[in-house]
Amino acid sequence: MPMVIAIDGPAASGKGTLARRLAAHYGLPHLDTGLLYRAVALTLIDAGIPLDDEAAAARAATGLIADRLADPRLRERAMGEAASRVSGIPAVRAALLAWQQRFAGTPDGAVLDGRDIGTVICPDARVKLFITASAEERARRRHRELEGRGEAASLAAILADIQARDARDASRSAAPLKAAADAVVLDTTELDADEAFAAARAVVDRVRTQ
């Protein structure tokens, strides 16, 4: 049976780093589904189209190709906010649903991280993890990450952005951010990357032996 690992959680919770490490450890392909929404947002921005143009956003999502996910601009801080805005458009989510499910259908399995993997994209995933941390800790992590890349950033502004994204992602009508009923919730506020990886790996290994 394919080993699909669904990892959800809010911004800067550490789910991306954890997903990449789990994928490498188990030899599975990995998809950061947030990049899909960032790519849709960037397509609109490049074309000078407002992010709230639902028809244009749906067209961008329908025409999205994998090569678009390699654009380094997708990793910029502003793109996270833009992605959060277009991700609330039901037509965008519908267009990207099949894209993500095809990836998850890899014969041996896959690791996907996002905000609705365990609830919508892969509800039958063998492993579901919901990674979280306090907003303050997540802001500190994002601040360190940006400083490490040489980007000037205000900790207070980052915290405000994270809190706004949390509220928007949790309250949207289309696939709101929440833990699946059968997900293992892992709070990483007091954990470093290695400790979080060990805890997640223990969950996966337990399922693999069942």
Binding positions: 9-17
- Which token pair is 36? 């899909």
Cα distances (angstroms) measured from residue 209 to each of 3, 24, 71, 206: 12, 19, 39, 5
Tokens 């996270």 label which residue? 80
- What residues are designated binding site for ATP? 9-17
Q: What angle do CA 32, 182, 19 make, to 5 degrees?
A: 20
Cβ proximity of 69 and 33 under 8 Å: no
Task: Determine the Cα–Cα distance for residues 193 and 18; give it in Å rounded to an integer.
Answer: 8
Task: Determine the Cα–Cα distance for residues 81 and 193; give it in Å rounded to an integer.
Answer: 24
Per DSSP, the three-state class of 110 is: strand
- Which token pair is 25? 């450890």
Task: Determine the Cα–Cα distance for residues 83 and 81; give it in Å rounded to an integer.
Answer: 5
